[in-house]
Structure 1
């Protein structure tokens, strides 16, 4: 059964309760393989094959990411249309815009962004330069270890809560001030009224 503090959207795991402590820079792929927007789809496909990539970032002349070409884009927009790959420009078939993130962002936020925009890859930008790419596969690879860490944190938090939990009872005399109260609360084995809680816990 899946823990209540995480859920799956497609193949992206989203952690609900807190940050994971893992940043984009810890799992991103770098350097990034790219093609220019005026390069041909054939050039893009060859570079994808040579580097065992399922997608490739398309940039302008200044190196800014302007789109992304995936295997699906090539199949649906080139092959299925009986177009000649070497005659088709990358900009004609790329998907846009390219969603971006930064190195210090927690992967929880990345997973949420992927889920919200139904995408699987983000370009990683730092000081105006693209330094990497992070994909849903990168997140999935480390998910088991993260789930174990989050599960352990959850157990610790639950134990701390149980050890310090205050239990309300009905009415009676306060163990601290000996006055009658309709809202006694158990604190460390003693039943105290609301007025005495702060004084009692500070001792």
Structure 2
């Protein structure tokens, strides 16, 4: 099975200048743990996780309105829409990440998360 057949396409994203409060609200409303950060051209430039938010907010001087760019992860693990999902699963395991953004020509086209794999197992 290819990533394009398995990925979530309707992915919530944020801009690097958005404040943490926007990500917190989005995460609560949609029950997501990872939010890709994209620029004006929908190019993936980072990802922010709930863990990133909690780490930042544990600092007493942290602001809920600080820009996402301050704590987003820039060392990204990505795959293409034509990647085999077994390879995506290995990437997640080996790099210890909870999701893999699916990128085509630098643009975010989807996301595969641990939750997606759990849903797949549930159908077996």
TM-score > 0.5 by shorter chain = yes
Larger of the two Rg values belongs to structure: 1
Residue equivalent to 2:55 = 76
**TM superposition shift of 1:70:** 1.1
- In the alignment of these two chains, the number of paired residues is 123
Q: CA RMSD in A?
A: 1.7
Unmatched runs of 5 consecutive residues or more in structure 2: none
Residue equivalent to 1:195 = none
Unmatched runs of 5 consecutive residues or more in structure 1: 1-21, 147-203
Q: Which runs of 4+ in 1 moved over 4 A?
A: none
C-alpha contact 1:56 1:69 (8 A) present in aligned 2: yes
Pairing of 1:38-53 with structure 2 (within 5 A): 38-53=17-32
Residue equivalent to 2:9 = 30
Residue equivalent to 1:103 = 81
**TM superposition shift of 1:50:** 2.5
C-alpha contact 2:44 2:107 (8 A) present in aligned 1: no
Question: Is structure 2 residue 58 aligned with structure 1 residue 58?
Answer: no
Residue equivalent to 2:112 = 134
Pairing of 1:129-168 with structure 2 (within 5 A): 129-143=107-121
Per chain length, whose mean CA-contact separation is higher, i.e. which structure has more relative contact order (CA < 8 Å, sep 6+)?
A: 2
TM-score by length of 1: 0.56
Which region of structure 1 is more displaced relative to structure 2, 33-42 or 63-72?
63-72
* Structure with the larger strand share: 1
